[in-house]
Structure 1
């Protein structure tokens, strides 16, 4: 196993039902809607309502593009066919080598869908090395992490525009929390998140550069 696998195993653990539910919530969308509202409000306070419209358009475009670019490496989404010869990497939860099993990833994927009671009823006993809540089982491939790409894009763009220390700290904390939730849920290796971060930084900076070029000072809009 390489360093990426070892680091993943060091960070992934069974935290019990409460931790499972918390990480599933963190990894979802609903919890972060107030953050999006806060960002738009802060941009409005700083730059005025017309610039909020521009910011919102650029933010949506950058977030959609970050998800689409991430999908290229997993052969899904609108751009999924751009790299037909690229071999995507299976999610940790579907990697037999981590479990010491000599089966195909698809076979492990079928086992992951089964609850502990269903496994026992089928006579299958195995002490899982990778902790994966049943609700988190989905998809096949992990590289590049779309979650990392999206949250980093949002963090870079919004922190660059708003420029307040407390807000930058909030975005860094939110980014770390979301990225760790993907490891906890068995969906991504650390390097999946690193590549997603690289995509997010590039798109976030590009969106900020465009915003700076197209936005007008608040005084001129009054």
Structure 2
């Protein structure tokens, strides 16, 4: 019974978010959830990681995204087999693209929060605004609900998976730095 109440509240919150749309915000969220939109940012981040952490850092962040994506998309989505709202409900406002019929957990949320957590953990001492990537992750995640691709619990679970992976990868980074010394 508790699951039914939680899922019903999840649907109600989803519908409340999905129904508040406008053509301007549609364009914004289509861009903000598109992978291709971020290519310039990815290029800058690769250069930043190379400069600050060396190739070790580039590999660390790349591996974090790969693990996060595979964990959410390949392992957890088939395990939970929860249909995306765009498959489970009719008359939704759809914005953006998606792969697959399952939505729990959100891979967008998992990937962006894994990145944000790892970035913050590594750079929080040296860069005052290192936590801003959490805002980016939240906007991207909200856009997935707004666009009809995920329920709020899909996004919340994706954020939790991503944060855990980001923390785990930071732990690996810290251990490898202790063993091998500074990798810059």
TM-score range, shorter chain: 0.7 to 0.9
User: Are residue 145 (structure 1) and residue 103 (structure 2) matched?
Assistant: no
Paired position in structure 1 for 2:17: 11
**1:149 and 1:198 in contact (8 A); partners too:** yes
Q: For 1:58 and 1:92, how far apart are their aligned partners in 2?
A: 33
Residue 167 of structure 1 is aligned with which of 130, 142, 145? 130
For these two proteins, the number of residue pairs brought into alignment is: 172
Larger Rg: 1
When residues 37 and 161 of structure 1 are mapped into structure 2, their CA distance, relative to the original with a 3 A threshold, is farther
If the length of structure 2 is used for normalisation, what is the TM-score?
Answer: 0.81
What is the CA deviation profile of residues 77-122 of structure 1, one whole-angstrom value per residue up to 9, with x for unaligned ones? xxxxxxxxx45111111113xx4xxxxxxxxxxxxxxxxxxxxxxx
Q: For 2:19 and 2:37, how far apart are their aligned partners in 1?
A: 23
Q: For 1:213 and 1:89, how far apart are their aligned partners in 2?
A: 36
Q: Which sections of structure 2, spanning at least 5 residues, go unmatched?
A: 1-6
What is the CA deviation profile of residues 18-71 of structure 1, one whole-angstrom value per residue up to 9, with x for unaligned ones? 3222211110113323433444455456xx4xx321111121112111111112
Q: Which sections of structure 1, spanning at least 5 residues, go unmatched?
A: 76-85, 100-127
Paired position in structure 1 for 2:61: 59
What is the CA deviation profile of residues 171-197 of structure 1, one whole-angstrom value per residue up to 9, with x for unaligned ones? 121011100110011000011011111
**2:80 and 2:104 in contact (8 A); partners too:** no
**2:106 and 2:155 in contact (8 A); partners too:** yes
Looking at secondary structure, tell me which structure has more helix per residue: 2
User: Are residue 30 (structure 1) and residue 25 (structure 2) matched?
Assistant: no
Q: For 1:157 and 1:137, how far apart are their aligned partners in 2?
A: 25
Paired position in structure 1 for 2:4: none
Q: For 1:17 and 1:138, how far apart are their aligned partners in 2?
A: 23
